[in-house]
C-alpha cells in the first residue's frame, strides 16, 4: 500500500530489492568459494609438508628434519601441523605417535597420495598420506608419511575469510543504497518543484504551466494544461450563460412586476380581471423560460437517465398537447406515424422536452403565413428520425448555424431563444444530431440511435 502511494519508495524498492537479492547470492557464492579455495590451499600445504618430511626422512634416515622443513611447520597457516612416518618394515620412524586412521585399504593397493577427513583423539582433522619407495637404515621398501591438521582452526580461518568477503559485499550494497536513495531524491526534485509551483497558485489561477519539466513529465503537464483550458472554458461558458439568463429573466420579471402593480391599482373589477389575466400569461412565460433554463443545464450537466422508450408514443403525447392550440390559431397539425412501437434508448423527459421545443418553435416562429405543422417519424435498422416541418417564415442561410446558439432567434418574436439550443444538446447527449434539413419549408430533423 505504501509502495503505491510513494514514487520514491517504489523506485527504491525496484532498484534495491533486486540488488539485495543479487548481493545475497553473491555472499553465499563468495563464502562457498572461500571455503573451497581455503581447502585447496591447505590441502596443497599439507602435501608440500608431506613431501618435505618424506625428503628429509630419505636423506637423514629419519633422524631429524631439516631447518627449512621445521620453519614450514612453524609458519603453517590454519594452526599446528602434525606428522608421522612409518618405515619400510612398518616400524615407527619419526613424528607424533598414533596417526589418524581411515578405512582405506592397504597402502600397496592404493594411490601414492591420499587426502581425507578423519578423527584424531576425538577432534576432526584433515589428513594427507604419502606412499614412497625409500631406504631407511638400509631397509628398502614403502615409507608411509602422514601429515594432518585440525579442521576447527581451518574452519575458523575460512569463516574469517568469508566474513571479510560478506563485509565487503554489505559495504558495497550500503554504498549503492545510499547513492540510489540520494540519486532518486535528486531525480524527483523537478517533480517536487512542480508540486510547489502548483501549490503556490491561487484557486482561481488556471493559466497553463509553462515551466521546464523533465521529458517524462511533459505528458502529465500537457494533460493538466488541457484540463485547465477545459475548466476555464466551462467557467467562461457558465458565466456567459448566467449573464444571458439574468438578462432574459429581467424582462419577464419586470413585466410581472408591472402587471402586478397595474392589477393592484385597477379601478374596477373588470379592469382587475383583465390585468390579472395578463399577469398570469406573463407568469406562464416566465415559468416556461425558467423550465427551459433548468432543462438546458440538466443536459449540459451530462447526467441523463437512459431507458428503453417508445418514440411513437412520445410523439403522440406531444401531438395531443399542441394540436388544439395549433388548430385554434388556424394551423393544421399533421402527424405522419402509426401506432406501431418504435423503440430507442434515451431519457424520456429530455426527448419530450426536445420535441416539444421543436413543435413550439414552429408554432411561435411560423408567422401568419404558416398553414400547417407536420410531425413525422421515420426509422431504419439503426436510426430513428423525428422531423418537424412548417411552411411559415423561412430561415436565412446566414442564420443556419446561429439559430442553435443559446438565446438566438432568426426573427425577433416570442420565445426565449433556448428551444433549438436545448433540442441540439439533447440530440448530442443521445449520440445523435439535430439538423436544419430544409429552409423552405422549414424542416428540422432529430436523429437518434435505435435500441440495441
Given pLDDT bands bounded at 50, 70 and 90, which one contains residue 445? very high
What pTM value is reported for the model?
Answer: 0.47
Widest Cα–Cα separation across the chain: 166
Instruction: Evaluate if residue 396 carries a pLDDT over 60.
Output: yes
Given pLDDT bands bounded at 50, 70 and 90, which one contains residue 108? very low
Average pLDDT for residues 402-409, to the nearest whole number? 67
Q: How far is CA 201 from CA 188, 208, 209, 223, in A?
A: 21, 11, 11, 17
Instruction: Evaluate if residue 397 carries a pLDDT over 70.
Output: yes
Sign of the CA dihedral running 125, 131, 134, 136: positive
H-assigned helices in 113-217: 151-187, 189-199
Q: Are 130 and 50 in contact (CB under 8 A)?
A: yes
Sign of the CA dihedral running 272, 275, 277, 282: negative
pLDDT at residue 107, as a whole number: 45
Q: What is the pLDDT of residues 187-241, one digit of tens each?
A: 777 777 777 777 777 777 777 777 777 777 778 888 888 888 888 877 776 776 6
Average pLDDT for residues 413-422, to the nearest whole number? 68
Domains of the chain, with CATH numbers?
A: 2-166 (3.30.450), 215-296 (1.10.287), 304-449 (3.30.565.10)
Mean pLDDT, the chain, rounded, equals 78
Nearest CA to 365 among 315, 416, 327?
416
Alpha-carbon distance of 376 to 319, in angstroms, equals: 11
Q: What is the pLDDT of residues 109-158, one digit of tens each?
A: 457 888 888 888 888 888 988 888 877 666 777 888 888 888 887 777 77
Report cis status (omega within 30 of 0) of the bond before 201.
no
Instruction: Evaluate if residue 58 carries a pLDDT over 80.
Output: no
Q: What is the pLDDT of residues 277-305, one digit of tens each?
A: 777 777 776 676 676 666 666 666 656 77
Average pLDDT for residues 318-347, to the nearest whole number? 84
Amino acid at each position: 500500500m505504501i509502495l503505491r502511494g510513494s514514487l520514491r519508495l517504489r523506485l527504491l524498492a525496484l532498484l534495491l530489492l533486486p540488488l539485495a537479492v543479487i548481493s545475497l547470492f553473491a555472499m553465499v557464492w563468495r563464502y562457498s568459494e572461500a571455503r573451497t579455495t581455503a581447502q585447496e590451499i591447505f590441502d596443497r600445504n599439507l602435501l608440500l609438508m608431506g613431501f618435505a618430511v618424506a625428503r628429509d626422512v630419505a636423506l637423514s634416515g629419519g633422524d631429524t628434519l631439516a631447518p627449512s622443513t621445521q620453519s614450514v611447520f612453524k609458519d603453517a597457516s590454519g594452526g599446528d601441523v602434525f606428522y608421522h612416518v612409518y618405515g619400510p618394515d612398518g616400524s615407527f620412524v619419526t613424528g607424533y605417535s598414533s596417526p589418524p586412521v581411515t578405512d582405506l585399504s592397504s597402502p600397496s593397493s592404493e594411490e601414492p597420495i591420499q587426502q581425507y577427513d578423519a578423527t584424531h583423539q576425538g577432534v576432526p582433522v584433515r589428513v594427507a598420506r604419502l606412499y614412497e619407495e625409500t631406504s631407511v637404515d638400509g631397509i628398502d621398501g614403502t615409507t608411509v608419511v602422514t601429515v594432518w591438521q585440525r579442521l576447527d582452526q581451518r574452519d575458523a580461518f575460512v569463516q574469517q575469510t568469508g566474513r571479510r568477503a560478506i563485509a565487503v559485499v554489505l559495504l558495497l550494497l550500503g554504498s549503492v543504497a545510499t547513492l540510489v536513495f540520494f540519486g532518486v531524491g535528486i531525480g524527483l526534485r523537478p517533480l517536487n518543484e512542480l508540486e510547489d509551483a502548483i501549490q503556490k497558485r491561487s484557486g482561481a489561477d488556471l493559466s497553463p504551466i509553462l515551466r521546464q519539466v523533465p521529458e517524462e513529465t511533459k505528458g502529465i503537464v500537457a494533460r493538466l494544461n488541457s484540463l485547465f483550458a477545459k475548466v476555464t472554458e466551462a467557467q467562461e461558458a457558465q458565466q456567459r450563460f448566467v449573464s444571458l439568463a439574468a438578462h432574459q429573466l429581467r424582462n419577464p420579471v419586470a413585466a410581472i412586476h408591472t402587471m402586478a402593480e397595474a392589477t393592484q391599482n385597477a379601478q374596477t373589477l373588470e379592469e382587475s380581471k383583465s390585468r390579472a389575466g395578463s399577469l398570469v400569461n406573463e407568469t406562464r412565460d416566465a415559468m416556461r423560460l425558467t423550465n427551459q433554463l433548468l432543462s438546458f443545464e440538466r443536459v449540459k450537466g451530462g447526467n441523463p437517465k437512459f431507458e428503453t422508450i417508445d418514440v411513437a408514443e412520445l410523439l403522440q403525447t406531444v401531438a395531443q398537447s399542441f394540436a388544439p392550440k395549433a388548430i385554434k390559431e388556424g394551423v393544421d397539425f399533421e402527424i405522419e406515424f402509426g401506432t406501431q412501437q418504435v423503440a430507442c434508448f434515451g431519457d424520456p423527459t429530455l426527448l419530450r422536452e426536445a420535441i416539444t421545443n421543436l413543435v413550439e418553435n414552429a408554432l411561435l416562429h411560423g408567422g401568419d403565413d404558416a398553414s400547417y405543422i407536420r410531425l413525422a417519424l421515420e426509422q431504419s435498422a439503426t436510426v430513428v428520425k423525428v422531423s418537424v416541418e412548417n411552411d411559415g417564415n423561412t430561415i436565412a442561410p446566414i442564420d443556419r448555424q446561429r439559430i442553435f446558439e443559446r438565446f438566438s432567434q432568426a426573427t425577433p418574436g416570442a420565445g426565449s431563444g433556448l428551444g433549438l439550443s436545448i433540442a441540439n444538446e439533447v440530440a448530442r447527449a443521445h449520440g445523435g444530431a439535430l439538423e436544419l434539413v430544409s429552409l423552405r419549408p422549414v424542416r428540422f430533423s432529430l436523429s437518434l440511435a435505435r435500441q440495441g
